[in-house]
Amino acid sequence: MMARRRVRRRKPRRELRARDFGDNPHIRRRYGEAEKVSEREPWEVRYAMRKRRLARLLLGEEGEK
């Protein structure tokens, strides 16, 4: 009888959440703290870029149009 090899279970890919970046931009906008797009903080810009990149990966090539 062959010995069974232990295989590490892959962790599921975590969803990208604004709170992972230390804040929730939607709540701040709702209460009027960040009304203009230009007032976005650097972490918000990175968050949006990662979110778009993740969406492109999930949609595949047809989502880039």
* Beta carbons of 26 and 17 less than 8 angstroms apart: no
pTM above 0.85, yes or no: no
Short-list 44, 42, 55, CA closest to 18: 44
11 falls within a domain: no
Which is more confident, 38 or 24? 24
- Read off the pLDDT of each residue in 40-46 and give the average, rounded to a whole number: 78
Predicted confidence (pLDDT) at residue 48 exceeds the cutoff of 80? yes
40 falls within a domain: yes
Per-residue confidence (pLDDT) for residue 45, from 0 to 100: 82
How much of the chain, in percent, has pLDDT values that exceed 70?
43
Mean pLDDT of the chain: 70
10 falls within a domain: no
**Domain total of the chain:** 1
Chain centroid to CA 8: how far? Answer: 25
25 falls within a domain: yes
Vertex 43: Cα angle to 20 and 55 (nearest 5): 70
13 falls within a domain: no
23 falls within a domain: yes
7 falls within a domain: no
46 falls within a domain: yes
